[in-house]
Structure 1
């Protein structure tokens, strides 16, 4: 008798799980915000260099750099909609924006810029790459404000987002701009700069090459990453934003960062402003 009851309980549990799964799938299929994607059977996600690398023989696209964090998030979004993931690679952000505008990409992973927000809409930010300083051994610079003093030379990469953010807040220090990160690091290592301003991930790596150097904990700005959509899709934007909040609270985004070894990349706070903004950590 006990065995029969246990068997019935197991069967009932299995029935409930199947029913819940079926109901969830039906809800996704009937959700008008993603109904066209469900009908197509695939979610077309746009990426841009250097977020990906492409196999020259097979054409397969794989995440690279921040893309190693982004691709698992894209897969989670496709899973939530209930379709397969199709990655669409582009040479640069403008090409990705055109793909969204033409309706050839459903969503795209794109760093927020005010100018870009005139062409596409953004869902809630999902990850953030802080801008901060690498300072040499025995430096008296402990927080970003310490670097903004007369006579302080800050190495920066020309036209980089981290440099643009710094231009808006520096009042006293002098920026020394160079073409590539290696040159900026060399200025610091050779004593021709007192600090190197950069996104946190690369300077964490450079710090290994200069014993005693430090990457500051605080930030002077950040590159906010969001999922971009074609203008005028308010309902879909709400759907994607709800997904992002779920992915944050459930740990999906943090797990993607950890699995990718994304040192210096953090989950974007829900209340953070989009763009390169000052703040802590």
Structure 2
């Protein structure tokens, strides 16, 4: 498949393809404890996209979603992996989602909060990862409860415990893992949102670049690449997003 060199140029103003990688979402990226190297579904996709364009890849790694988004918005990275959100969409052109992830609430065993409807009460403080998809969504949706922002998504439950908050919100798998480590916690029975994880490029790079990235994502879903990456990294609870026809 021939790649338009104008598109390649749009993605590589520094000569390399800089991928913004967010380690704050363990479903998509983690760091190898031995080597320090990032790995995961988003890293696999970044490498595949660099190969697709025929260019050298540089990983720009962040610990929080907000910082990862900002890097792309400010063009310190050429593309990234984000939950689709209207606020982010002001500066970033998103593809269709490649993975769907569930967001859940976590509370203490003795909490009076039993259902999602119980969360939005004036007496409740909800811990979220600063700048995460949950932060953006719940900032719009919660009318009475107070939002308390942890520095990163993996720090949400620690913030919830340390500040004796009423609710923690985050990726289901991260909350389940934390609940296994800390006694006396439980997840509510239903998700409060589905996070649509997509790839994105600065809108300033033009519609041809956005279209090329969108086509790449559809090819990766249709070929089974995304499904194989989820399986290879033993990710449970995330599903491949439907193809866009």
Q: Fold match, TM over 0.5?
A: yes
Q: Work out whether residues 72 and 78 of structure 2, in 8 Å CA contact, stay in contact via their aligned partners in 1.
A: no
Residue in 2 aligned with 1:202? 174
How far the C-alpha of 1:243 sits from its partner, in A, is 1.8
Q: Structure 1 residues 62, 76: closer, same or farther in 2, change over 3 A?
A: same
Among 252, 255, 265, which residue is 2:225 paired with? 252
Q: Work out whether residues 133 and 144 of structure 1, in 8 Å CA contact, stay in contact via their aligned partners in 2.
A: yes
Q: Structure 1 residues 140, 259: closer, same or farther in 2, change over 3 A?
A: farther
Residue in 2 aligned with 1:63? 38
1:95 equivalenced with 2:71 (yes/no): yes
Give the greater-gyration-radius structure (CA): 1
Which runs of structure 2 are paired with 1:219-234 in the superposition (5 Å)? 219-230=191-202, 231-234=204-207
Residue in 2 aligned with 1:135? 107
Q: Structure 1 residues 212, 35: closer, same or farther in 2, change over 3 A?
A: closer
Distance 2:32 2:90 in 1: 30
How far the C-alpha of 1:245 sits from its partner, in A, is 1.6
Q: How many residue pairs align between the two structures? A: 225
Distance 1:96 1:261 in 2: 28
Distance 2:205 2:136 in 1: 29
Q: Work out whether residues 20 and 59 of structure 2, in 8 Å CA contact, stay in contact via their aligned partners in 1.
A: yes
How far the C-alpha of 1:73 sits from its partner, in A, is 1.3
Q: Which has the higher contact order (CA 8 A, sep 6+)?
A: 2
Distance 2:149 2:16 in 1: 40
Distance 2:75 2:131 in 1: 24
Q: Work out whether residues 21 and 42 of structure 2, in 8 Å CA contact, stay in contact via their aligned partners in 1.
A: no
Distance 1:61 1:28 in 2: 35
Q: Work out whether residues 83 and 197 of structure 2, in 8 Å CA contact, stay in contact via their aligned partners in 1.
A: yes
Deviations 1:133-176 (A, max 9, x none): 1233376756422433565x34313744323422322345x336
Which runs of structure 2 are paired with 1:94-173 in the superposition (5 Å)? 94-99=70-75, 106-137=78-109, 143-148=115-120, 153-157=124-128, 159-161=130-132, 162-172=134-144
Q: Work out whether residues 20 and 78 of structure 2, in 8 Å CA contact, stay in contact via their aligned partners in 1.
A: no
Question: Secondary structure in 1 aligned to 2:75?
Answer: helix
Q: Structure 1 residues 238, 33: closer, same or farther in 2, change over 3 A?
A: farther
Question: Which runs of 5 or more structure 1 residues have no equivalent in the other structure?
Answer: 1-26, 272-281
Deviations 1:246-269 (A, max 9, x none): 222332112222322334444345
Question: Which runs of 5 or more structure 2 residues have no equivalent in the other structure?
Answer: 24-28
Q: Work out whether residues 127 and 159 of structure 2, in 8 Å CA contact, stay in contact via their aligned partners in 1.
A: no
1:236 equivalenced with 2:212 (yes/no): no
Please give the TM-score of this superposition, normalised by the length of structure 2: 0.68
Distance 2:56 2:235 in 1: 22
Please give the TM-score of this superposition, normalised by the length of structure 1: 0.61
CA RMSD of aligned residues (A): 4.0
1:28 equivalenced with 2:28 (yes/no): no
Q: Structure 1 residues 46, 127: closer, same or farther in 2, change over 3 A?
A: same
Residue in 1 aligned with 2:146? 175
